Structure formats: structure tokens, C-alpha cells
Amino acid sequence: MKDRILDCIGSPADLKVLDDSELKILVDEIRREIVASASKTGGHVASSLGAVEIILAVHSLINSPTDRFVFDVGHQAYAHKLITGRLDRFDTLRTFGGVSGFTRPAESEHDVHASGHASDSLSIALGLAKAREIKGTDEKIVALIGDAGLAGGMAFEALNTIGQMQLPMVIILNDNEMSISKNVGALVKHLGALRSSEAYRDVRDSVQYRFESAGKLASSLVGFGRNMKDSLKQFVLPQETMMYEQLGILCTPPVDGHNISELRDILATALEADGPVLMHVVTRKGAGYAPAEADPVRFHGIAAFDIATGADAKKPATAPSYTSVFGRALLEEGRRDKRVVAITAAMRGGTGVEPFFREFPERSIDVGIAEENAVGMAAGLSRGGLKPVVAIYSTFLQRAIDQLIIDNALIETDVVFAIDRAGLVGADGATHHGVFDLVYTRMVPNMRIIAPSDEAELADALHTALHLGGPVAVRYPRGNAQGVDVPDEPRILPFGKGDIRREGDDVALLAWGDMVQTALESADILADRGVQARVVDMRWAKPIDVDAVAHAAETKLVVTLEDGAIAGGVGEEVLHVLSQQGSTMPTLLLGIEDQFVPHGSPADLFRSIGLDAASVAERVLERL
């Protein structure tokens, strides 16, 4: 006999036999399951805990997978995974070969798209709604998006088109006042006004009573369609708060996101409307687990932890993270030069700029989840005589390639792009691996790219980039650095020159960034097999050290190691240099093949694609 309701849920259809009181019990069981599993594997705990009632309310009223439930980012979808047939594997969350931390169509028919980046859900949902219209079908479409994601440019563009097309769909705005760092921007202030409106509080109870008395809750709203004068908020809120109605989207008053009865009642009505409806749902990030409620930023994405206290379960690192080293180096640069400005996109903690923000708030800008705006603004700051440092994850900077090219590189702005999480990031998987930045930065004229191999080089690289002029990218990985001392005074690195870390005549290992350590370990293995390898810390991905390449051609084999895509990567530039030098030297390019790498620990991932030290040594021996 099964002790929990959760153990009896094999698919969302099973929710339809549960009443509200049973759903409330299920909510608590799911929260306990999320905390128990994530305490061992880590994960996006706070986001998923806050969205449990929303997910159960939606799945209890729609017929997935025929009806479509679209998640923005997907990091809040753990409850969705637990009720869609993945309970028995949930303890493998984010591990190699296990359940993904985000929605993934290859994993379940209930996962609509491979979410992982914010602000895309409304465009996906709108496309589904248009496809439904063209096919003449009648499936329900629901999109769940956070208040931070709604502030992204892509979401605003989708809202404009949604209001224009007037296709039936429900947008659930999960308003928890958080993205990863605390939300910023005018839209957040607008939402705050809705939450705190005295007019709304005074009228809400009587309106709710009137709707309930109408029979099918808010039946007066069914068939509302395009007639915005009959909007609920027209009765409750002043005209200046009606942004969504002015776009042509019916918006509900704020709804308690942890009251599943209220959620289901209002959602049932919204699903019957003949136009787009936005449900404004207020939740608490980390709801139901005290440590996550107290520190939702840390529990946004956390490693394994102790359930009782919420403290990290893993032992303290012996070396600082690259991110923290960058943060300290940036702070020191800001103290040296008043022109240095820090910019980030909702990732003050994640990118390590929080100390700079605290000490220099007047020179600190968090644009929210709007990477295009961050990179475009950096161009303006540079043209205004300042030295902006844009700190963004590699996978998120992809969203601002146009601004990087046209607004910055074309006119050679003095902007530094601090590209965090370069390479394979681990458990977040394919949507978060930083494997394309070497390609999309190398292809752009006027760009210079530094890939430091340890924390001392990272501090030097930032210092060099700020003094070099023009757009410069500094890329560095996630995780702990090498444990070397960082000098008090950084140095300016020789432009376009690498550093020979080990001599050898048989093979040359040309490595960038974190792969330098892999090359050194591979050289040790090769030495045990009688092969002497030269290891070069190439440092610069652009311009490349042509002398180092020429010297490498004096050995029997030139090997390049990069933790990015081979296609268009820096290894291909080595081939180009060799061809210009007239060399027919045998080469071996090692990096990410033409594939998306799944989730798992970095060690498992590097081993699976043949980029760990042992695999590199074996591949070199095979080629020799």
C-alpha cells in the first residue's frame, strides 16, 4: 500500500480525481520530495518550491500533453516532473544520465520545449496558439513566466504580438519579486503597485464574492474577448495600472499563488476566455522550506545541502572560485580607476559583481534579464568616456551577439566582456554550457579574447583588457580555480603571446583557459609512455600567438585543446596559421564536437566526450 498521494500519481490525468484538500496534501508531499532529492544532487530549489501550487492547478485543469503547458526557463518545473512519470528517477536529478534540471522534450511528452533561458515562453506559446488556429484544433495553451522573465525584451515583443493576434491562451505571471538577484526595473515597480494597491485590497473581497455567486466563478468574464472596457481591473485598479489591458490582454488582480482553490477557480475561467488572459499570481520563492524562504538567492541554484539547516553539504573548497576572483579583481580595478563601471543582467551574485555594487553603487548597473540592453548600454557608456565591464555568463551573452557586433566591435568601444561559465558548466546541461563564445567572439573584427588558465592570469587579464582599449573578451570557467597566489598588483599580459609551461620535442599541446591544466596532466601521462610533450598556455584566442604555432610545428604533432565548439573554434585558427606558414604538420583538434553536451558533473562530461587528461593522452598516442 502506498503511503503518499504522490506515489499514486503516474500522470497529470491522475490529478483530476483529487479535490482541493487532497491537492493541498499533495503540495506538501511534493515540496518534501523536492527538498529531499535536491539536498543530495543540488538544484533550483527556491524557484521550484514557489511554483508547486501553480503547476498542480494547471495540470488539474488541462489535458497534457494534448493541451500545452509551456515553462519559461524551466528551473521551476520540478513539481511538473514529479507528476509526469519521473518520480522514480527524480533522485537522479541533474546527474549524468539522470533527470534534467530543466524541461526537455526528449525526456517526456509533457515537456513542450527545451527551456533554459528566460523570456522565451510567450513566443513559444504564441506559436503554439497560431498553429492551433491554422490546424483548427482546440487545445488549451498555458505559459508560466516569472516577473523577471517578463521584463526581458523577447517577452515584451511577444506580449505586443499576443495583444495584436488575440488568440486564446493563458499567461501565468509568477510574481515572486525575484529573478536570481532581486528584481529591478520599472515593470517590477508596476507589479508592486498592483500588489499593494489600496483600491484593490478594499474591493477584492466583494468582487470575489460576486464572482463566486455568479456560479462558475467570474462567468461574467467568459466571452470577454476583446472588449477591454469590461476588464476586471477596470473596476478595481486605476487607469495607469492597466498596461496589459492596453496591449489587449485581460489581466486579473493579484492572486495568492499558494491558495490552490483560488488558483484553480480563476484559471478555470481564464481557460474559457476567447482571447489572451494574464493571471497575476503572487508567490514566495522557496515556499514551504524555511532555509530557502530565508535565503532564496542562495537556494536559486544550490549544491547538495543539509536539510535540517540548509547549510552546504560539501566541504569548503581549497581554492576560490574563478567568479569570486574576478569579483575581487574588478573591485580593485574600480578603486584604481573611477571610470570603471560594472554591468550585469540579473546576476549580481552569480557573476561576482556584488562587492563592486556595494562599494560603488553609482557605477553599478543591473539591467535585469535583458542582455541586449546590457551590451548596448555598455557601448553608450564607453562613448560617454567610461570603461564598462559587462559580466555575463557565456550562454546568456549569446543573446546579445548583434549588440556585441554592431554597437561595440564596429566602432571599437572600450568595453570589457567578462564571460563567466565558459566551457562545460555541469549539471545545468546543454542550455547552459558555455561552448560557443570562442566562436561568436572570434568571428567579430576588432575583438580581442583572453582565456586565462588560473586565477592569477584572470586578474592579469582583466587588468590588461581595461588598459588595452577597444572591445576585449575575458573568458573563464565555472568552479574553483587552481589555487595559485594572486599578486596584489596585476600585470599587463604581453599582447598576443602565450607562455610555454613545459618543454617537449615529440608533440605540442596548445591549450586555452582551463584546458591548460588538462594538457599538463596529459603531458605527465604521455611522459610515462615515453612521449615528451610541450605544453603552451596560449592565453590569447584572438590574436593567436603565431610564433607559438610555428614552434609547435617543429614537433611531430600539433594538438589544440579548447573547451568550446571545434567548428569555428580556436583550433581551426591554428590550422589557418599553419597553412599560411606553408606547414603540412599533422594536427589533432580537441574540443566539443558537433553535438549538444548533456548535463552531469564536469568530470563525467569531459570524460564522456574524451576531453579529460587520460582520454587526451590516449588520443595523442593513437595519432602518433
Residue type, 52: V
- How are beta strands 141-146 and 169-175 bridged, if at all? parallel
DSSP 108-129: -TT--S---STT-HHHHHHHHH
Report how far residue 442's alpha carbon sits from residue 373's, in angstroms, rounded to the nearest whole number. Answer: 22
Residue type, 509: L
Residue 541 contacts by C-beta under 8 Å, 6 or more apart in sequence? Answer: 438, 441, 442, 449, 450, 451, 475, 512, 570, 573
CA nearest neighbour of 67 among 167, 159, 170: 170
Q: Which of 68, 81, 132, 285 is catalytic?
A: 285
Q: Is 371 assigned a catalytic role?
A: yes
- Residue 261 · residue 210 · CB < 8 Å: no
Q: Which of 399, 475, 539, 542 is catalytic?
A: 399
Report how far residue 483's alpha carbon sits from residue 560's, in angstroms, rounded to the nearest whole number. Answer: 24
Reported as half-sphere exposure (CB side, CA atoms, 13 A), residue 19 has a value of: 1
- Residue 174 · residue 283 · CB < 8 Å: yes
DSSP 122-184: HHHHHHHHHHHHHHT----EEEEEEHHHHTSHHHHHHHHHHHHH---EEEEEEE-SBSSSBP-
Q: Which of 371, 372, 457, 573 is catalytic?
A: 371
**In the chain, what is the straight-line distance between the N-terminal and C-terminal CA atoms, in Å?**
62
Element (H, E) at 34: helix 20-41
- Residue 49 · residue 288 · CB < 8 Å: yes
Reported as half-sphere exposure (CB side, CA atoms, 13 A), residue 384 has a value of: 11
Report how far residue 307's alpha carbon sits from residue 35's, in angstroms, rounded to the nearest whole number. Answer: 7
Q: Is 133 assigned a catalytic role?
A: no
Count of C-beta atoms within a 10 Å radius of residue 523: 25
φ, ψ of residue 10 in degrees (nearest 5): -100, -20
Q: Looking at the DSSP assignment, which residues form a beta bridge with residue 69? A: 142
Chain centroid to Cα 557, Å, comes to 38
DSSP-based helix, strand, coil % in the chain, nearest 5: 45, 15, 40
Element (H, E) at 21: helix 20-41
- Residue 406 · residue 378 · CB < 8 Å: no
What are the residue numbers of the active site?
A: 285, 371, 399
